[in-house]
């Protein structure tokens, strides 16, 4: 007899211990920031992080609420226990799908994507009280020269 779809693999629904350092992100955040291509424009948005599949993965949702030029996106964070590496799979409303390498050290979470013609990197620095994140993004079209991309300040709202 076939098992109901919801119970297939249910034994694997447990916290991934490698992702424990990311628990500081879990919750809802308001964002305020800017983009290098839009000087003088202030952007407002929301970001949320939550555990999915009982903590096997971390799920992120993001939106800039006052400027339609910025897509809403989602991402899943996971790990490779043998390589001791983290990854983020990103997807947004434009149909853009990207994979980023992720690292966490001290209170800084970085994600980076190296792709000829359009590389991106972001450093997210958490405050000591866990209520604020300063996020600085950069992009490169040649892999050598970097310019300002999306920069945000996250403030914990829940």
User: Does the pLDDT of residue 3 top 90, yes or no?
Assistant: no
- φ, ψ at 40 (rounded to 5°): 85, -5
Exposed / middle / buried, residue 91 (Cβ in 10 Å: 0-12, 13-18, 19+): middle
Q: Where are the domains of the chain?
A: 28-156
**pLDDT per residue over 46-83, tens digit each?**
999 999 999 999 999 999 988 888 999 999 999 999 99
Q: Mean pLDDT over residues 98-122, rounded?
A: 96
Q: Which residue has the higher pLDDT, 69 or 101?
A: 101
Is pLDDT at 1 greater than 70 in this prediction? no
The CATH T-level fold of domain 28-156 is: Lipocalin (2.40.128)
Q: Which residues contact 114 (CB under 8 A, 6 or more apart)?
A: 143
pLDDT tens, position by position, 132-143:
999 999 999 999
Q: Tell me phi and psi for residue 9, to 5 degrees.
A: 75, 10
CA distance 61 to 22: 15
DSSP 8: T
The dihedral sign for the CA sequence 95, 132, 151, 25: negative
> Cβ–Cβ contacts within 10 Å for residue 54, how many?
12
Give the helix, strand, coil percentages of the chain, each rounded to 5: 10, 55, 35
Mean pLDDT across the stretch 124-134?
97
Q: Across all residues in the chain, what is the average pLDDT?
A: 95
What integer pLDDT is reported at residue 110 of this predicted model?
A: 98
Across 125-148, average pLDDT: 96
The answer to whether 136 and 121 have CB atoms below 8 angstroms apart is no
pLDDT band at 36 (very low <50, low <70, confident <90, very high): confident
Is 14 a residue whose pLDDT tops 80? Answer: yes
């Amino acid at each position: 007899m076939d098992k109901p779809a919801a119970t297939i693999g249910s034994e694997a629904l447990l916290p991934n211990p490698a992702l424990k350092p990311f628990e500081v992100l879990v919750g809802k955040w308001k964002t305020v920031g800017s983009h290098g291509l839009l000087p003088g424009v202030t952007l407002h948005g929301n970001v949320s992080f939550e555990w999915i599949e009982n903590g096997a993965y971390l799920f992120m949702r993001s939106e800039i609420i006052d400027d339609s030029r910025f897509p809403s996106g989602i991402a899943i964070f996971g790990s490779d226990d043998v390589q001791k590496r983290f990854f983020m799979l990103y997807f947004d409303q434009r149909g853009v799908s990207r994979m980023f390498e992720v690292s966490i050290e001290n209170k800084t979470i970085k994600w980076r994507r190296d792709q000829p013609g359009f590389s991106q990197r972001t450093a997210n620095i958490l405050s000591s009280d866990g209520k604020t994140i300063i996020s600085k993004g950069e992009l490169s079209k040649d892999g050598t020269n970097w310019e300002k991309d999306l920069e945000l300040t996250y403030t914990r709202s829940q």
